Amino acid sequence: MRNRFVALAFVLVVILSVSGLVAAQDPVVLRVWSGASSPVENAFKEAQFAAFEEANPNIDLEVLISPDYGTQIQAAFASGDYPEVFTVGQFDFPSYVDSELIAPAGDNITDQSDIYPSLLAAFTSEDGTVYCPPKDFSTLAVFYNTDYFEQAGLEAPTADWTWDDMKAAAQSITDADIKAADGSDVVGFSAGADRNRWLALAPAFWEEANRRLRANGLPAAKFQKNPGKPVPVHPSLGKELCILCWAVEDASPDDIPNALHNWEALAPEERWWLYTMTVATTGQAMQKGLGWRKALRAAITDNPFVKGEGLSPKARRELLGHSQLSLSL
């Protein structure tokens, strides 16, 4: 099975284009920012930067490897004074291109054949322009329950398994009438803890999407599998939906109507800001229930909705003032 990945890239256009400067020129100082990871990866980055400086004595790097990189780079963008070289996540890449925060790589990536095509595609715009050389990627793994496989009479997965093999095994486990420890029925595969929770969000999402389509003189749309024509909704709406998903990710389905009302009471600009702050600090899958994710849950899902008021003034101040940012409410 092909690995799924989450990719990062360094915006190295500036470095690559100035590396050919002659030694007689004054030293060039470039700021290089990246997020902190494991001690091993951090040490590897530092070694690569040192090797670059040794090979290019007329270039001095001011390196920042920070555990709070997401917040710092967003603050730098807001101020207009951001580093010449910085890491870009694949999910942030489209908005960086739209905002003209990064420049095309041009001929600076001399050998594209040495890069996995899927990684290069992650940092290629819709018009085919390559912007960033990818620096790494993270694979996502699928675990399986050996006891359930044995009870269903299935052999263990092998290295040549395909998605069809996994689907067939999942169906066999579902059909085997296996019971979990709590007596509930076992299904062969689940993409989430509670599919009904996410389905409950769909009507509100499409109501909001269609409201914006109509506001722009476009016809309303609906969910389709493999639509022949994409729905012309701005990607920022996906960020707003992400805020809602984070708010209810551990909530009871009974609490979702309350969360929907509170989410609808926020302006789009407020949702964008909340997304930016949340994804910068607690946007990873393993960061549920922490920091901004916890604040979203408390304000949007747990906070009682008062008809006619929307999100209560107190909850609104607590949520939007989480980082001491002053907003007009």
State how far the Cα of 260 lies from the Cα of 272, in Å rounded to an integer: 16
**Per-residue pLDDT at 204:** 74
pLDDT tens string 137-179: 776 778 899 999 999 999 999 989 998 999 999 999 999 989 8
**Is residue 38's pLDDT more than 90?**
no
CA distances from 245 to 207, 263, 315 (A): 16, 10, 18
Query: What does the mean pLDDT of the chain come to?
Result: 77
CATH of 5-139, one of 1.10.10.10, 3.40.50.1110, 3.30.420.10, 3.40.190.10: 3.40.190.10
Its pTM surpasses 0.85:
no
Higher-confidence residue of 264 and 307: namely 264
DSSP H/E element including 316: helix 313-320
pLDDT at 61 over 90: yes
- Residue 196: pLDDT band (50, 70, 90) is low
Most confidently modeled range among 151-155, 185-189, 192-196: 151-155
pLDDT in tens, 217-253: 777 666 554 445 555 556 677 788 888 888 888 777 7
- Indicate the SS3 state at residue 83: coil
> What is the residue extent of each domain of the chain?
5-139, 142-190, 195-320
Residue reference for tokens 């001095």: 60
Q: List Cα–Cα distances, 233 to 142, 212, 236, 238, in angstroms.
A: 32, 8, 8, 9
Percent of the chain with pLDDT over 90: 18
| Cα-trace Rg, the chain | 24
What is the layout of strands, in order, in the sheet containing 134-139? 59-66, 28-35, 85-89, 5-10, 134-139
5, β-bridge pairs? 139
Residue 271: what pLDDT? 87
Could you tell me which residue, 308 or 32, shows the higher pLDDT? Answer: 32
* Coil/strand/helix, residue 13: helix
